[in-house]
Amino acid sequence: MAQDTPETYRHLVLYEIYVRNHGRSGTFADVTADLPRIRSLGVDVVWFMPIHPIGQLNKKGSLGCPYSIQDYREVNPEYGTKEEFRLLCQYAHALGLKVMIDVVYNHTAHDSVLIAQHPEWFHQDENGRPVTTVPEWSDVIDLRYDDPALWDYLIESLKGWVELGVDGFRCDVASVVPLAFWQRARQEVAAVKPGVIWLAESVHTGFVVHRRRHGLMAQSDGEIHQAFDLSYDYDIWPLWQTAVADPTAVPLYAGILPFQKGIYPAHTIKMRCVENHDQPRIMQHAPSRAQALAWTAFQAFNEGAFLIYAGQESENTHTPSLFDVDKVIWRDYGLQEFLTRLCRLKKDPVQMTGQFEVVTAVPAISAVWQSANEGLYGVFNVSGAEGVMPTPLPDGQYVDGLTDRVLVVRDGEMMTPETAVILRFPGQLALDAHRQASPFL
């Protein structure tokens, strides 16, 4: 069970890396050299997309997808050696970083080392050929979980990685792997290394419904949190994507957040982001740069962990290919300071000890973190509004935590920011007159 999840996990900052595309040579050495800069952002956990050898049979693209894995116990020789990865983990720890790797236990490559040894571990068609249960994932074949020997093999593989220095696992499509497996894996890994972080790539609600309709297993987010510390917020992701593209949907998205919090177990922690390797870059998806920055600031301020996808700090608009060399374009790290301030605020005592609430959705999203003695009030202009807006802040001058600029509140109003502001205030705000009711509660 994951009820023992540390409360501090609600304030983790994770950073996603695809080794192939991160640096000039696409190696562990490139990433190692970049770790001090990544740490300076305020990152807690570096998550590596799969580092294992990539399948070549029925591969996609020229090099194949990292989620089509040949061997769970080895590293891709393109990236370096296992010893180099161990040293990377050691250096990351010295910098105060934790290391998370991708675990892809729903499927393997067609030329996995397991297929020759244990064909019975795989889903098969009527002719006995291994298959995937998701036809568009043509470069992989799915594992079955009815043989205890498979469980033993996979869990022993996890133990080997934590012994090498890994501190956490991001588990690919975790919702379609048996919950009992994850619970046992968590328990046995904890006996080797306590405090390992478990992040579930929980899936879109529509995918859960689709699989169940076809007699396939899929767990809801509420179920998956019996084994995991963190999960994706893909349950509401389609609504968020709609709100980014169409500001008239912002009230629906803002209103569903308290509903999302109320339908899951109390220990549930969602990981927020505005982009990842499967989703468009926010600078490409949002109607304007200002709105992209506003959404980024809100998701960092939002309750839950926060993910930065490598290249976000350079305002990348292109989502790199998984199947070929497609390097991140770093340019001038123009958003390094912006993201650093957001990450620093994630660890502010008010956020660490206070309570979060979304207050308004129009003309801009406003939200507060309030502790007993002070609070943080954020305004996020995700809709591109202009002019003044009402605020519960007392009249006076406030310093924006993102820019150090002074903002004036007069007669209960403030200028709507171009992007976002986060303001510190003493005491607690009276919010009753400003709340916009959630349509979901």
Q: Omega before 53 cis (within 30°)? A: no
State the Cα–Cα distance between residues 308 and 41, nearest whole angstrom: 10
Q: Percentage of residues in the chain with pLDDT exceeding 70?
A: 98
Mean pLDDT within 235-263: 95
Q: What mean pLDDT value characterizes the chain?
A: 96
Q: CB–CB of 415/407 below 8 Å?
A: yes
Query: What pLDDT was estimated at residue 14?
Result: 98
Q: Per-residue pLDDT for 105 more than 60?
A: yes
CA torsion sign for 209, 222, 354, 303 is negative
Query: What pLDDT was estimated at residue 437?
Result: 65
Query: What pLDDT was estimated at residue 264?
Result: 94
Per-residue pLDDT tens digits for 270-292: 999 999 999 999 999 999 999 99
State both tokens at 236: 């509401």
* CATH class belonging to 356-426: mainly beta
Quick one: pLDDT band at residue 1, thresholds 50, 70, 90? very low
Quick one: pLDDT band at residue 435, thresholds 50, 70, 90? confident
State the Cα–Cα distance between residues 149 and 121, nearest whole angstrom: 9
State the Cα–Cα distance between residues 231 and 224, nearest whole angstrom: 8
Dihedral angle of Cα 235, 241, 242, 244, to the nearest 10 degrees:
140
**Which is the CATH superfamily of the domain at 7-347?**
Glycosidases (3.20.20.80)
Within a 13 Å sphere around the CA of 191, how many CA atoms are in the beta-carbon half?
7
Q: Per-residue pLDDT for 377 more than 60?
A: yes
Quick one: pLDDT band at residue 175, thresholds 50, 70, 90? very high
Mean pLDDT within 152-176: 98
- Given the DSSP bridges, would you call strands 168-171 and 98-103 parallel, antiparallel or unpaired? parallel
Q: Per-residue pLDDT for 89 more than 60?
A: yes
Domain with CATH 2.60.40.1180 in the chain: 356-426
Q: Which is more confidently placed, 183 or 432?
A: 183
State the Cα–Cα distance between residues 286 and 312, nearest whole angstrom: 14
Query: What pLDDT was estimated at residue 6?
Result: 86
Domain with CATH 3.20.20.80 in the chain: 7-347
